[in-house]
Amino acid sequence: MVRRSVLTVFAVIATAFAILSVVTLPGPASAITPSQTAVTSIMVETGPSSVAVSPDGSSVWVTNFNSDTVSRINTATNVVTSITVGSGPSSLAVSPDGSSVWVGARNQNGVGVVARINTTTEAVTSITVGFYPSSVAVSPDGSSVWVTNLINVSRIDTTTDAVTVITVGTYPFIVAVSPDGSSVWVTNYQSDTVSRIDTATNAVTSITVGSGPYGVVVSPDGSSVWVTNNNSASVSRIDTATNAVTSITVGANPWDVVVSPDGSSVWVTNQGTGTVSRIDTASNAVTSITVGSNPSGVVVSPDGSSVWVTNQASGTVSRITFPPQSPANITATPGNAQATISWTAPTNTGGSPITGYTATASAGGQSCTTTTATSCTISGLTNGTAYDISVTATNAAGTSDPSVVSVTLTSDLVAPAFTG
């Protein structure tokens, strides 16, 4: 296997960190249909890179490498607040209970630290780790924080703040913890490998993937690990039962990767194309969505309704939303040449408010619409005829799949004619 030189690796480090110093600011359930999305741009501070979302979905957290800050975005309003942490914050993770955010940075003396933000008070404390912490992950039970330091991995005991050092492959970049907490996965950029750490023993095994592995994530059910290969425009899918690897082509220079909460889709930022790739985990089929310049970090909200992407070169965060889920509990009450249709609003609005509902009769095409009401009456129907009634919900991103109910307007609904 051909190895890249140390200078090449540090060029990649420059892509991850130093490039941020020259940026300029500009003057679902998962997606139902990836072709229907809406992208909202939110201004943060300079050099946004890593992004994470709180367990309750109320906050999105972004590291701003050039500003030495973390931005906290209120997901209900998109309002941004700023918290000062160490120098050059590059990565972060939220604890499972949402009480703290852990940020990889450096102190004023250039020493690698992990800053711990109390999410209630926004107070910041620091723990010293190894050289240049590049990635942070928290165990599912919150007892351990795992940090890659470009030389080794630090394991922090969150109760005592004690640090244990673990040796993995060459130039470890990104770390992820399995949902059950039994294993930790680390990409080793220079080794073209992923290290699998047994959290009970800290024992390490190695798996070969593509060229320049960078991002890594474990599926919600723990059955798959997904790795971005920055030098080969591909993603490696690792079967955790066998360690077998499947390669999937995505955009140029894939960087970060995340799996939707329901496990149905994987999202990859492609720095070379300014896009996000969505991989259907059932088929490995790939679709593409354009976002901002030099997309870096990516995260999916806990309810799957929004995907958040940091755009390094434009100082923005892209929020991708989708069409809503289908309306539920459809009923149709027949009348004389009409039917009254009722439904309940979908629980997942796609991350954007519902702007209207449409009920349509088939055959015939007669319809009725509402904006917020959850019932309407279709007129102009024919007594004695059976109709399928479909109801859809619409938001800024598009229209949901239809929910369908059948109704028959029987002839005895026609009032008898009286003669005198």
Among 321, 340, 359, residue at a domain's last position: 321
Cα–Cα distance for residue pair 4/227, rounded to 1 Å: 19
**Angle (CA) 367 368 371, round 5°:** 140
pTM, full prediction: 0.74
Residue 38 pLDDT: 73
Among 289, 321, 353, residue at a domain's last position: 321
Domain match, 283 and 335 both: no
Among 321, 349, 376, residue at a domain's last position: 321
Residue 131 pLDDT: 83
Residue 389 pLDDT: 96
Return the bridge partners of 82, or none.
71
For residue 16, being part of any structural domain is answered with no
For residue 29, being part of any structural domain is answered with no
417 exposed, middle or buried (CB, 10 Å; 0-12, 13-18, 19+)?
A: exposed
Peptide bond into 252 cis (omega under 30): no
Strands lying side by side in the sheet with 328-335: 328-335, 338-344, 375-379
Domain match, 99 and 239 both: yes
Q: Which residue has the tokens 């790795």?
A: 227
CATH number where 225 lies: 2.130.10.10
Domain match, 58 and 166 both: yes
Q: Could you tell me which residues come within 8 angstroms of residue 286 by beta carbon, excluding any fewer than 6 positions away?
A: 248, 249, 250, 277, 278, 279, 280
For residue 8, being part of any structural domain is answered with no
Domain match, 297 and 334 both: no
For residue 3, being part of any structural domain is answered with no
Domain match, 317 and 332 both: no
> What is the token pair recorded at 223?
């059955």
3-state SS string for 272-328:
CCCEEEEEECCCCCEEEEECCCCEEEEEECCCCCEEEEEEHHHCEEEEEECCCCCCE
For residue 25, being part of any structural domain is answered with no
For residue 31, being part of any structural domain is answered with no
Q: Which residues of the chain have pLDDT under 70?
A: 1-37, 108, 411-420
Q: How many CB atoms lie within 10 A of CB 203?
A: 10
Residue 227 pLDDT: 98
Q: How many domains does the chain have?
A: 2
Q: Which residue has the tokens 């330091």?
A: 149
For residue 79, being part of any structural domain is answered with yes
Backbone φ, ψ for residue 133 (5° rounding) = -60, 125
Domain match, 302 and 375 both: no
CATH number where 333 lies: 2.60.40.10
CB-side neighbour CA atoms (13 Å) of 392: 12
pLDDT in tens, 81-107: 999 998 999 899 999 999 999 999 987
Cα–Cα distance for residue pair 61/145, rounded to 1 Å: 17
Domain match, 306 and 355 both: no
For residue 24, being part of any structural domain is answered with no
Domain match, 59 and 129 both: yes
Domain match, 300 and 353 both: no
Q: How many CB atoms lie within 10 A of CB 410?
A: 12
Domain match, 51 and 176 both: yes
pLDDT in tens, 308-342: 998 988 889 899 888 888 999 999 999 999 999 99
Q: Which residue has the tokens 């991995």?
A: 153
Residue 418 pLDDT: 36
Domain match, 133 and 216 both: yes
Q: Which domain holds residue 239?
A: 39-321
Domain match, 109 and 188 both: yes
